[in-house]
Structure 1
Amino acid sequence: MVPLDVITDLQKFLKNKMQAYSGLTVDGEAINCFTGFLPRAISPEVKERLCPAIVVGYSGVMDRADESIVAVVISVVTRDQDMLHGADEMFHVLEYIRHCLLSNNPVCGKYNVKNGSMETSVPDEQPYPQWWGRIDFEVHIPQPDNIDAFLIGGPENG
């Protein structure tokens, strides 16, 4: 299990959960879910079609004496022209994701969200008419054993 496995599985989990999400977009389209990064848009029209979106990535991996941890980052981007309540959908999606992760812990039956590590944040500066926020948390992964043997072709070569 490597960090890419973690974020890929979490993306699939959230994509499935978002199909049941009651806050579908005005167009009736489900929220896009991506792994790693939001795709680069070559035009404003393409950029607009990417929203709303959820992006599951990670900011780092920490190897400790007795555990390895992936620092997961889930970003949510919505688009709404309303200057007063335009961020409401983004706040709702963040809360829905938070609830899905915590109520299904361990997520996907194998990713244990580390107790007390989840933090939701929304920056003051927003790229209007887009609105964005993020959820950060830590997930335990198995520590590599005998990494030298792994790097040179597997345990049979060690």
Structure 2
Amino acid sequence: MTGPKAFETYADDAYGFRLAYPADWLVETEPAGGASFTDPRSSAGATVSIDEDLDLTLADYVAAFLKSLAVDEHVRVLEALDRRDVALEGGGTGRAIEYSYLSDGERWRLTYLFVRAGERGYVLGVDWNDDNDLDDLAAWIVESFAVETTD
């Protein structure tokens, strides 16, 4: 897979993760750990959130997210597109899910990657309006995600 022509690598040493993102996207560090990435020209964006002391299996972690998504008041007509395991750089496996949904009359897409490393959980989410046709870019960001193993 080829990535965007110009990209940066974001690394968070405190929480032990890194990922590639388009160089022209804006980056904001989240106070509770993680980061947000936004495309200033479109509705596309990505976020990384961290869960400490995670006591769920990877499958249960994904299931809990999907349950919350199913009751989100902004999400309508949720359609599963894909679920797959993703081999992480440096070892380990994450679970990626892809969905489309309607929100305020517009079709949106999301690709989320769930990773468990020790007792820490990571969720990388990439969301975009389906009109933006960013499937390949979302896959690139997900495939670039890496964590330091703590097991």
User: Given the two structures, how large is their TM-score scaled by the length of structure 1?
Assistant: 0.31
Higher relative contact order structure (alpha carbons within 8 Å, sequence separation ≥ 6): 2
Of Structure 1 and Structure 2, the greater strand share is in: 2
Give me the TM-score of the superposition, normalised by structure 2.
0.32
Indicate the structure (1 or 2) with the bigger Cα radius of gyration: 1
Q: Between Structure 1 and Structure 2, which shows a larger proportion of helix residues?
A: 1
